[in-house]
Amino acid sequence: MSAEPSTDDADALLAAPLRPYLNVSPLLIAVSGGPDSTALMHRAARLGSAYPIHVATVDHGLRPESIVEARKVGLAARALGLPHHILTWEGDKPSRGIQAAARNARYGLLAECAGLIGAETVLTGHTADDQAETVLMRLFAGSGPTGLAGMRRERELAPGLRLARPFLHIRKADLVAYCDRHGLEPLRDPSNADERFARARLRRLIPDLATEGLDPERLCRLADRMARDEEALLQAARTALAAHRVPARTDVVLDGQALAALPDAILLRAVDLALSEAGGGGSQRLERLERLVFEDLRPALAAGVPIRRTLRGILVDLGEDGVLSFGRAPARRSPS
């Protein structure tokens, strides 16, 4: 029977991925009070930084006890010498898709708080277990490589602000053990076991899947491989977009015939990048993008016929000359 890791080993496990974010820039640590973010806050405070470290807790207002829990996090943060901010999600809450809406609101509030205090990085306590659940959810949803790449270790949260997940390859059990060894008392969120939510239902399946070999480690390895391949495809799409651009004063204008020679996976991503560059927002469902590219655009390019389609608020216009432009779609006329 193997010996239990020492406290020094457990501390080192958390310190190694966390150190690159310390002594680099001011930090804002998102702490819900659960074991993951509690361990993150505690370890960061113990390691210290030459720059300010702030803590923020988002009160989503979805449970009566949430404000009490946020205040408890504040007490724990201040005991570690860290300033604490409670960020409140105000206004009406949607009746459907509440978790997605709460996530969007949470990141918006964190970005706003980071801007106010001058933080350049927001840290969250996402773990390998969270990554495995995310990949599994996206697998069930029929996602492509982009979705199966899971959460990125780092991404841009707002201009000049990065979101980082230093513990993304550490198991939750290691963070729970860290809290136990240091006498920390994290909060327990009952929504994590609420089977009204898809993530909670899938979480219940993971032990059975693990017995068949699909354990969290393999799901995380799948995410790493998909992220590696996705980055290569994206880079190829960026190169193609730059090479086949037609100079224009406005809009995004491309040489459609040159794009037609691209492999499907690269063409798909090139069109997606063009839509985003043109200001396309709203839903980014893969099925809609695939329909545009493979059912409309690719056949039109092959036949040399013009088409006009709208996706994400962008007018995609393929002219008779083979020039493909992306620009804001005109506003729809209201019925008279």
Written in H, E and C, the secondary structure of 83-100 is CEEEEECCCCCCCCCHHH
Sheet holding 307-311, edge to edge: 252-255, 323-328, 314-318, 307-311
Per-domain boundaries in the chain: 7-221, 244-328
Q: Is 37 annotated as a binding residue?
A: yes
DSSP secondary structure letter of residue 148: H
Q: What CATH number has the domain spanning 7-221?
A: 3.40.50.620
| CB contact at 8 A, 175 and 35 | yes
Q: Is 35 annotated as a binding residue?
A: yes
Task: Write out the chain's pLDDT in tens, 336 residues.
Answer: 444 555 677 799 999 999 999 999 999 999 999 999 999 999 999 999 999 999 999 999 888 899 999 999 999 999 999 999 999 999 887 878 888 888 999 999 999 999 999 999 999 999 999 999 999 989 988 888 999 999 999 999 999 999 999 999 999 999 999 999 999 999 987 666 666 677 778 888 888 888 888 899 999 999 999 999 999 999 999 999 999 999 887 789 999 999 999 999 999 999 999 999 999 976 678 899 999 999 999 999 999 999 999 999 999 999 999 999 999 988 766 555
